[in-house]
A and B are shown apart, each in its own frame.
Chain A
Amino acid sequence: MEIFILAFFALGYLVLAGADIGVGMLLPYLGRTSGERRETIAAIAPFFLGNEVWLVATAGVLVGLFPKLEGDLMAAHYSLVVVLLLSWVIRDMGLWLRGRVSGPRWWSLWDGAIVAGSWGLALSWGLLLSDVLLGMSGPLALLPALALAALFATHGLAFAALRLRGTLRERAAVLSGGASEVRTLALTAAAVAVVGVLAGLRLPLEAGTSGALLAPVILVMMPPLVASQAWVWWTFRHRVSGPSYL
């Protein structure tokens, strides 16, 4: 039961946030002008906050249900997790702050933060998963890390193709061509999930002792949590038709 809960939130994070990380990575490709970039950001703006909470929940599950694994995993990859967190912070700040001031230099600064943060996040995840999955670390681990970053980017393209319109939509469809946008997104999402599952299988998933109390509570919480997210997905199901609040 504990493992199911952990997998649910961790995979939820990888699939959902993987898409908005990918869009952030390809921001300079998707949006060539500042206006285009703002519209590209509108594709992920209503979602990124709701997506990253899946990782916060995953951390909560780890500390509550797998306290030993949490400590081992994070302390063993100390500097990598620090870089991951810094990338996350810088990227989020880019998204929040970009629209706060009008001016090309301000926009470029935070566009840069979004792109650098997204790449930092994707590569840190790549390195972390390479170590867990393949036992690889050091410079050679950059190869699988780059492969995973490419997967996030592809997933981001698939998401962007579904959300954007016009030229931006065409750019996002560069890899998928005329294929169905929904099916492409399902495919990239499945690929991301598979990586997550494989990494999970390699982890020493030894649950702690508070599951008897905690696991049923979390299981009961899951449907309302998913429903709250579904409300977001439903509200913003249409294509972006212009810049958003951010």
Chain B
Amino acid sequence: MLLGMETVELARLQFALTAGAHFLFVALTLGLATLVALLQTRATFGRDPVHQAMTRFWGQLYIINYAMGIVTGLVMEFQLGLSWSGLTKFAGNAFGSALALETMMAFFVEATFLGLWIFGWNKLNRWAHLTLIWVVTLTAYASAFWIMVANGFLQHPVGHRVQDGVLHLGDFGAMVANPAALVAFGHILSGALVVAGFFMAGVSAYHLRRRTAEQDFFRKSLRVGITVALPATLVTATFGGIAFQTLQPAKSAAWVGNAGRMAEAQAEMVALHGPGDYLPPVAWVQSGAMTMLILFALMFFFAGLSFLLMLFRPVVRGLRIWHWLLTAMIPVPFVAMLGGWIFREMGRQPWAVYGLLTTAEAMSPVSAGQMRFSVIAFTSVFAVLIVINYWLLARAARRGPAGVTLGDRPIEAAVPVATF
């Protein structure tokens, strides 16, 4: 299959697979960081051992997931220069600022403080330790924000000026206030909370079904998960609804499948940019959006029902079919996320920067052989690592609080020396 594809198709496949893999992990990271920070806040103020155990257990799952998010993110960031140097050369002076600020204002601090949070457990003052997880969470939000500013620019370029055939920064405020960025940021942030809420509820339900000893622990966790998932689903849908109002004409026409409007959008682009095919792949756009919307309906009704059921303690303890369904729901928000992402990005095609630079023009001068090598190498390495990481995540989730190693001892405690 790879042999028949054009280099630009391979580069797109490579970026899509990397971004898709990255998205699976960062969505959970973003949401779970918030929940862990909330749990640690309660644990730090209340000193309740159950809350402390919850912080460590969910924190451990958060870290397992985080590592995979980093490595896919690294490869994604470098791919911009590797495969899409046409894009960075044409638009780097404009939207590159958002990417640079993401590394400075967000990721740098996030990763530095996350290291301190992990390795400084029982070593740092507990208030300092609590501050760390909040800084990690807020910088994770900031990271998502700047990435969406960059992506929003590609979807709907604003705040730039054209000079000497390339883009330059014009009005930075306009770029940051871009509705295509802000609405998407709200959508993704709340979507990440849906992912984490269902994850927490589903893992807890597994343990309640298995009658794990820590009943109180998982009853509370289940409550946190559902209490977050239900409103987050609504907020996600609200931002999504607003986003539907800001779609590009061609994406919107492809989504409703209106041949007249598609022809209109095509004619408009031809008038502006000369002959060419300016329509996105309709099947991808529609199936991405449909997946997202159908799964939203499922999640919304299921979260609503679960919210009612969780009010009755005997049900929380004993309704095993519900436990089973909650666990089975864990992958659903992930799939919805990917569906929404495919809708947004496929719907932008054939543009890399909407109306300004096509995806084909954004390509680096790289040979098909080089591209095939990297697609195969990245895909196989990531496929293996994703399987291993999900296996480890599931294993740590199944083992429950007893198997947690995060914060289980003073990290650099003095080795006890026998004095007899």
- Measuring CB to CB, which residues of chain A are less than 8 angstroms from any residue of chain B? 45-50, 52-54, 56-57, 59-65, 67-68, 70-75, 78-79, 81-82, 85-86, 88-90, 92-93, 96-97, 99-101, 208-210, 213-214, 217-218, 221, 224-225, 228-229, 231-232, 235-236, 238, 240-242, 244-245
Query: Interface readout for B59-101 with A: 1 if CB under 8 Å, 0 if not?
Result: 0000010010011001101101111111011011110110111
Given contacts A63-B96, A208-B93, A229-B112, 12 further A-B contacts (CB under 8 A): A49-B111, A50-B115, A52-B74, A60-B99, A63-B99, A65-B100, A72-B85, A78-B364, A82-B374, A93-B388, A209-B168, A241-B414
Chain B residues with CB under 8 A of A93: 67, 71, 385, 388
Chain B residues with CB under 8 A of A224: 109
| Residue B345 CB within 8 A of the other chain | no
Contact partner of B94 (CB less than 8 A), chosen from A210, A229, A231, is: A210
From B103, B123, B396, B412, residue with most partner A Cβ within 10 Å: B103
- Measuring CB to CB, which residues of chain B are less than 8 angstroms from any residue of chain A? 64, 67, 70-71, 74-75, 77-78, 80-86, 88-89, 91-94, 96-97, 99-105, 107-109, 111-116, 118-121, 123-124, 168-169, 172, 364-366, 370, 373-374, 377-378, 381-382, 385, 388-389, 392, 396, 405-406, 411-415
> Does the CB pair B168–A71 fall under 8 Å?
no
> Does the CB pair B112–A49 fall under 8 Å?
yes
In the assembled complex, the Cα of A54 lies from the Cα of B103 at a distance in Å of: 9
Query: Residue on B with the closest CB to A66?
Result: B92
> Does the CB pair A70–B381 fall under 8 Å?
no
Contact partner of A75 (CB less than 8 A), chosen from B85, B99, B116, is: B85
B17 CB to closest chain A CB (Å) equals 14
Chain A residues with CB under 8 A of B169: 209-210, 213
Interface of B is mostly: helix
In the assembled complex, the Cα of A85 lies from the Cα of B104 at a distance in Å of: 21
> Does the CB pair B100–A214 fall under 8 Å?
yes
B409 CB to closest chain A CB (Å) equals 9
A92-B71, A228-B109 known; A210 and B96 CB under 8 Å?
yes
Interface of A is mostly: helix
Chain A residues with CB under 8 A of B364: 71, 74-75, 78
> Does the CB pair B97–A213 fall under 8 Å?
yes
A82-B373, A209-B168 known; A235 and B123 CB under 8 Å?
yes
Query: Residue on B with the closest CB to A100?
Result: B392
Query: Residue on B with the closest CB to A46?
Result: B119
A62-B81, A235-B116 known; A50 and B111 CB under 8 Å?
yes
Q: List 21 A-B contacts (CB under 8 A).
A: A48-B115, A59-B78, A60-B100, A60-B101, A60-B104, A62-B81, A63-B92, A64-B92, A64-B101, A67-B96, A71-B88, A71-B92, A75-B85, A75-B364, A96-B67, A99-B405, A100-B64, A210-B93, A214-B100, A228-B112, A241-B415
Chain A residues with CB under 8 A of B414: 241
> Does the CB pair B365–A221 fall under 8 Å?
no
> Does the CB pair A92–B67 fall under 8 Å?
yes
> Does the CB pair A70–B112 fall under 8 Å?
no
B102 CB to closest chain A CB (Å) equals 7
Chain B residues with CB under 8 A of A82: 82, 370, 373-374, 377-378
Chain B residues with CB under 8 A of A238: 412
> Does the CB pair B413–A53 fall under 8 Å?
no
> Does the CB pair A221–B385 fall under 8 Å?
no
Chain B residues with CB under 8 A of A231: 112, 116
A114 CB to closest chain B CB (Å) equals 14
Contact partner of B92 (CB less than 8 A), chosen from A49, A67, A90, A244, is: A67
